[in-house]
Amino acid sequence: MTQKFLKLLLLVSCVLPVQVSARVDQSKKAAPTKASASKKMHRSSPELAADADADEDATRAKMLTSLEVAGPGYIRDQLFVGSLTVENGESIGGDLSVNGRVFANGFILQNSPLFVPQYAFLYDSGGQSVGNNDDLTFNNGGLGVPYATPGISYSAGNITMSVPGIYSASYCVVVETTDGTAATTYAFELGLTTGTLPVVPVRGSEGTVTVTESLDTDEIQVTGQAIFTVTTAGQVLNLINVSGATVTIPPTAADVTLRIQRIG
């Protein structure tokens, strides 16, 4: 009996330390896991800031399918968008790349290679006497050039074209005819000058009317039109008398008119 009890006591003493040791080992294994979780929850500010920057960069580079800027807003960086609406005077401060067509109401571009409309309507109502190969002048009712965009200006017979492009021009000149039996030809044409170079006639712009003794009128109209290209900013356009003699233009409501429009 005593021997059996001693054997049992010895067996218990051997097993119990193993169980306690196993529990201690498990506790040691669990501790690093808890510390690791605590470290993940309490990350440093620089690490969080880096994550925030990464999220912001990802958002900027995100491909948008539609964007509407209708209230206070400002696009600072690059924008890739399928549909863009900008209203109420909002602005785009960075680059805007358009791969396709632009549909706009009242769209104005400055210093841009894209098409910018230009036009001018000039007229004279004071009457004038114009020598052969001289320029016709415009008083525009004493209002300067009231019907023109900033890209076209006028001074003393010279029309300065500041925006290169393709233009259409048409003119009408009222001329007093002279008495006599000989036929008289009245002719005008547009000329384009670059810097100090000679005037180059605009091809197809000459308008001619020949008056014979059988023409019973004191005034005639000479008209002409042409399409031409302004290749360099600052080229000068003139309407020139090429009749071969001095012509008299009467003081009527609009004895000389000239319309210019950029078409390309």
The model's confidence at residue 9, banded by pLDDT at 50, 70 and 90, is: very low
With b meaning 16 or more CB within 10 Å and e meaning fewer, what string describes 16-41? Answer: eeeeeeeeeeeeeeeeeeeeeeeeee
- The mean pLDDT of 180-192, rounded to a whole number, is 86
Q: Is the pTM of this model over 0.85?
A: no
pLDDT tens per residue across span 43-59: 556 666 666 666 655 55
Per the prediction, the chain carries an average pLDDT of 74
Strand segments, DSSP code E, in the chain are: 67-69, 74-75, 84-86, 91-92, 119-124, 128-130, 152-155, 158-161, 165-176, 184-193, 200-201, 207-211, 219-230, 235-241, 247-249, 256-262
Residue 97, CA distances (Å) to 79, 114, 224 in order: 8, 12, 41
Contact status, residue 190 vs residue 256, Cβ threshold 8 Å: no
Are 219 and 175 in contact, with CB atoms under 8 Å apart?
A: yes
CA-based R_g, the chain, Å:
43
CA dihedral 231, 235, 241, 242 (to 10 degrees): -40
User: 141 pLDDT exceeds 80?
Assistant: no
Angle at 52 between CA 46 and CA 54, to 5 degrees: 105
Q: Which residue has the higher pLDDT, 82 or 175?
A: 175
What's the whole-number mean pLDDT along residues 197-216? 83
pLDDT in tens, 233-258: 999 999 999 999 999 999 887 899 99
Geometric angle at alpha carbon 247, from 241 and 251, rounded to 5°: 110
The DSSP output letter for 234 is T
- With a cut of 60, say whether residue 127 has pLDDT above it: yes
